[in-house]
A = this chain, B = another copy of it.
Amino acid sequence: MKVNLKHQLNDPNCKGVEILSIGSELLLGNIVNSNAQWISEELSSLGLNHFRQSTIGDNCERISKLIKEISSRSHLLITTGGLGPTPDDLTTEAIANSFNASLSEREYLWDGIKKKLSLSGSKLNNSSLKKQCFFPEDAQIINNPRGTAPGMIWEPIKGFTIMTFPGVPSEMKEMWKETAVDYIKNNFSDGFVFFSNTLKFSGIGESTLSEKIDNLLKLKNPTVAPYANLGEVKLRITARAKNELEARKIIKPIKEKLKKEFSEFIFGENDDDLSSVLINELIKRKESIVFAESCTGGLLSSSITKKSGASQVFKGSIISYSNELKQSLLNIPEFLIKKYGAVSEEVAQEMAINAKEKLNSDWSIAISGIAGPNGGSKEKPVGLVHIAISGPYNHLTNIKKIFSSTRNRIEIQRLSVNVCLNSLRLILLSTSK
């Protein structure tokens, strides 16, 4: 979740990089600011001190004021948005205003735009489109291979550079890769790179883990930072070094220490998730899996089938949401449901055993619970979940979980799926072939 940018200078007066996202659609909440995330990731992999992001609407005066403000505290500003032909596209004009600069036309850009537009068959409207050819005299143009609006690199005052990009993600990314990366490396890099490795945990909470590795969280190089999702915790280990090889060397001992200490909780690294780890483990073992789902209603199956490669191990499932289908599709005897209830160890176990047999697989997971908000009782509250795992050589595991009453229906379903996947992962570990 939270990390100090310990690599970065802690002096709050240190000059760094900022991102400014321009567009009223962001302030209205029409779109999520995925550009800022993408650029942030790029900046951190380039090792730049990136301290702050801002978002502002399509208002020339406000944009100018903010850019002036940023120029006093940062040395590089990346802007996105507001470069297009509409009256709301004001970025270049506003930037020029901030520094009392005037804009002049670059004729060759106009030729380029005309060419692009005749290629794509759009109608030309000179007055609005021509706006995109005006830049400060001494600005360097960033070519836009995928659209009409170029960007610029401009140093309006000594020690402060602005790089402008369009708001359309595909155009921005292409221009970034083609022009910005090298420019930044040559002009703003201190010769060091940042490299990260992420360890993924299940079955342990963020605060418990953070407490246990309190000393690691204080390290400066590498830094260790926890992030939490529903039912999953990540630790990102980041090293600053002359090159990737050296960074890996710095990360290695910390990673090994963590792997040793938390072996049963660590299920993977980087892009791994519980589903992909489980699929890979089953592929290795050449074993298949099926599910019998009630309260998760397809979410467990879906968490596996969203992965490419699932078909190598996953054969299918029976979603027996009604008791009628528990009987007809999974042969659960009526008396069992009557005696113990559909949400019981007995029924979950029978579902697992029968699904494994009927769907002809090596492993099966059955799950029956009360996801709420209705259907709970004093004896069987919302959040009660019974899981049964059946496997080769008559393996059988029963798990009972009661999730907190603060959890809603979807969280109970997602946490249940997590327990299913992680429990089978641990069983496979302990019975490794």
Chain A residues engaging chain B, CB cutoff 8 angstroms: 1-5, 10, 12, 23-34, 36-44, 50-59, 61-62, 65-66, 81-82, 84-89, 116, 119-120, 122-123, 125, 128-129, 145-147, 167, 170, 205-208, 210-211, 217, 225-227, 236, 291, 293, 296-306, 308, 310-311, 314-322, 324-325, 328-329, 358-360, 372-375, 403-406, 408-411, 413
Contact = CB atoms under 8 A, between A and B. Distances in A.
A217 B314 CA distance: 48
Most buried by B among A51, A56, A116, A119: A51
A32 B26 CA distance: 13
A375 B309 CA distance: 10
A27 B296 CA distance: 35
A12 B54 contact: no
Given A27-B5, A119-B405, A321 B315 contact: yes
A280 to B, nearest CB: 16
Nearest to A43: B29
Contacts of A88: 1-4
Give the copy number.
2
A144 B227 CA distance: 20
Contacts of A42: 29
12 contacts: A1-B88, A2-B25, A3-B24, A30-B226, A33-B33, A53-B55, A86-B210, A147-B406, A299-B302, A301-B319, A301-B321, A324-B360
B3 A58 contact: yes
Given A24-B225, A120-B404, A317-B318, 4 more contacts: A1-B89, A27-B40, A316-B329, A317-B317
A41 B26 contact: no
Contacts of A41: 28-30
Nearest to A207: B85
Contacts of A62: 12, 51-52
Contact of A146 (B25, B167, B406): B406
A123 B84 contact: no
A378 to B, nearest CB: 15
B1 A86 contact: yes
A226 B86 contact: yes
Chain A to chain B: the 3 pairs with minimum beta-carbon distance, closest first: A297-B305, A2-B88, A298-B301
A406 B121 CA distance: 13
Contacts of A403: 120
Contacts of A211: 125, 128
Most buried by B among A38, A54, A129: A54
Contacts of A302: 296-299, 301-302, 413
Nearest to A56: B52
Contact of A5 (B2, B28, B217): B28
Contacts of A208: 122-123
A205 B29 CA distance: 19
A324 B56 CA distance: 55
